[in-house]
Amino acid sequence: MRHQNQPYGVSLKTQELYALVFATRYLDIFTDYISLYNIVMKLIYLGSSFSIVWYMRRHKLVRRSYDKEQDTFRHLFLIVPCLFLALVLNERFTFMEVMWTFSLYLEAVAILPQLVLLQRTRNIDNLTGQYVLLLGAYRAFYILNWIYRYLTEVHYVHWITWMSGLIQTLLYADFFYYYFHSWKNNEKLQLPA
Amino acid sequence: SSADNIKDEL
């Protein structure tokens, strides 16, 4: 974006949801210290997600070419149900725990505005296609980790993390399918409307 | 819960 001064079909809605995901998940940087790595990575996640949102909102060139009439997914349709579910389905009814659970549920669906935008914009830019592919792959690798830990560690069970991570990965499934086919047939990636 | 999970999963 910085280099070409254009948003490449990246959905601002999704970027804002990700910023909210990390803001609600990493509240513990104020309460307890786990390790230097832990706090540094959290600050990187927060810094990068908020700077993308800031850049897309503030930078005059990016903002002008960002197609806001296409990226119209209403956040609240995702935020409200996730908040409600986090209030009902959590492991401990404390503020931190509910916020953390909310961030997991929200992360599972945060990609939806981006996928909708990709369906609407006919020609998907390579950069954006790769970006979404890697976001999905990151999640898929977590599932491999969970399987390994379930098999090797006694009582390693995290239903909330597993279910939201699984749903998140499933949302990418059709994108992976079309991405693979466009790569195999060496065609431009297009998602059916 | 977030306590035991946050240690190994960002």
pLDDT mean values, one per 10 residues, chain A (193 residues): 75 95 93 89 96 86 74 92 97 94 96 91 83 90 90 87 93 90 87 80
The predicted structure's pLDDT at residue B9: 73
Which stretch of DSSP H or E encloses residue A126? helix A126-152
The predicted structure's pLDDT at residue B2: 79
Q: Cβ B10–A42 below 8 Å, yes or no? A: yes
Residues from chain A contacting residue B10 (CB–CB below 8 Å): 38, 41-42, 45
Q: Cβ A34–B6 below 8 Å, yes or no? A: yes
Q: How far apart are CA A167 and CA A181, in angstroms?
A: 22
**Residue A109 near residue A171 (C-beta atoms within 8 A):** yes
Cα dist from A88 to A83, A107, A180, whole Å: 9, 17, 38
Q: Is the pLDDT of residue B7 over 60?
A: no
**Residue A111 near residue A174 (C-beta atoms within 8 A):** no
Residues making up chain A, counted from first to last: 193
Confidence tier at B8 by pLDDT (50, 70, 90): low
> What is the residue type of A49?
S
The predicted structure's pLDDT at residue A121: 81
The predicted structure's pLDDT at residue A8: 77
The predicted structure's pLDDT at residue A73: 86
Chain B nearest-CA distance from A158, in A, is 8
The DSSP code for A13 is H
